[in-house]
Amino acid sequence: SFQAFFKQPLPLLFPKISYSFYPVYCGLYQIEYEALPLAADFSLDVQAFEQPHGGIIFPNPNAPTGLLLPLQQVEQICQRSQSVVIVDEAYIDFGGQSAIELTRRYDNLLVIQTFSKSRSLAGLRLGYAIGHVDLIEALNRIKNSFNSYPVDALAQVAAQASIADEISFRQGCQNIITTRQRLSEALVALGFRALPSHANFVFTSHPSHDAKTLYHALKKAGILVRYFDQPGIDQFLRITVGSDDEIDQLLTRLGDILAA
């Protein structure tokens, strides 16, 4: 996508707090970019995208916040952009509404999804893009000049089986949503602030306990969470929604740490 669409005279726009590979890819492909600050509540500032640009890319829900941009605001971005808009929906199945339906009305919108999250096939590194035929053709031109066969036969079989097994897919998503809600409520009960996540993780901070200290204390106890030593989010932990037993162990250990 970066090679196909974003080598433009004007900068690519994306959120400042988002995937770390965005600026890395821009450096690799020599793409000018501008990282836009999030709003005070960590949501995407839709108005910030209304400036001259050569493209837009953002995850929805965003990472590592887990916050979802409502579909009408995604549409607003597409309406007001004359460039390609890419919406990365890696986490969309955990409670969000996909923008795929908007691709029927906006030729500049490309929606990308993955089998790595909700379909539990991360090791395959398999995903797909949906958009206007001209956008797909541009992707194919780049693909065919770089690697004509990026998806092997076994990965295709696994992907087809995953799509066919709709019952397991829906149940897995619902399990994550239910456990995520329980985790968020339990964290709030322990005094944490938990952002309203629509992903398979919870982004959380405690007003009187340093996040990095909590991270190391949990790691010492054999519990791994994600800590970002980055301005603006360096007091937050990103906690993956695991099994109920894993969440119980996490909450018990956090309670012990906070009480110490």
Nearest to 187 by CA among 239, 245, 244: 239
Confidence of residue 64 (pLDDT cuts 50, 70, 90): very high
Nearest to 76 by CA among 65, 66, 87: 87
Task: For 88-120, give one letter per residue: b (16+ CB within 10 A) or e.
Answer: bbbbbbbbbebbeebbeebebbbbbbbbebbbe
What is the reported pLDDT for 120? 93
What is the reported pLDDT for 75? 98
* CB hemisphere CA count around 144 (13 angstroms): 6
Nearest to 58 by CA among 120, 102, 109, 118: 109
Helices (H) then strands (E): counts for the chain: 8, 10
- The three-class DSSP label of residue 128 is strand
CB 115 within 8 A of CB 124: yes
Alpha-carbon span 78 to 92, nearest angstrom? 18
What is the reported pLDDT for 260? 83
What is the reported pLDDT for 147? 80
- pLDDT tens figures, 2-48: 999 999 999 999 999 999 999 999 999 999 999 999 999 999 999 99
pLDDT at 254 > cutoff 90: yes
Rg of the Cα atoms in the chain: 19
Mean pLDDT over 226-238 rounds to 96
What is the reported pLDDT for 259? 92
Structure tokens at 96: 């969000």
Alpha-carbon span 144 to 131, nearest angstrom? 18
pLDDT at 256 > cutoff 90: yes
What is the reported pLDDT for 82? 93
Question: Model's pTM, two decimal places?
Answer: 0.94
Proportion of the chain in helix, strand, coil states, percent, rounded to 5: 45, 15, 40
* Cis amide linkage into residue 23, ω under 30° from 0: no
- pLDDT tens figures, 135-164: 999 999 998 888 888 888 999 999 999 999
Mean pLDDT over 58-84 rounds to 97
Helices (H), the chain: 2-5, 21-28, 71-80, 133-146, 153-164, 166-189, 211-220, 244-259
What is the reported pLDDT for 150? 83
What is the reported pLDDT for 12? 98
Angle, to 10 degrees, between the axis of helix 211-220 and the axis of helix 244-259?
Answer: 120
Confidence of residue 222 (pLDDT cuts 50, 70, 90): very high
- pLDDT tens figures, 82-108: 999 999 999 999 999 999 999 999 999
Alpha-carbon span 11 to 34, nearest angstrom? 6
Alpha-carbon span 224 to 239, nearest angstrom? 8
H or E element at residue 58: strand 55-59
Confidence of residue 178 (pLDDT cuts 50, 70, 90): very high
What is the reported pLDDT for 206? 97
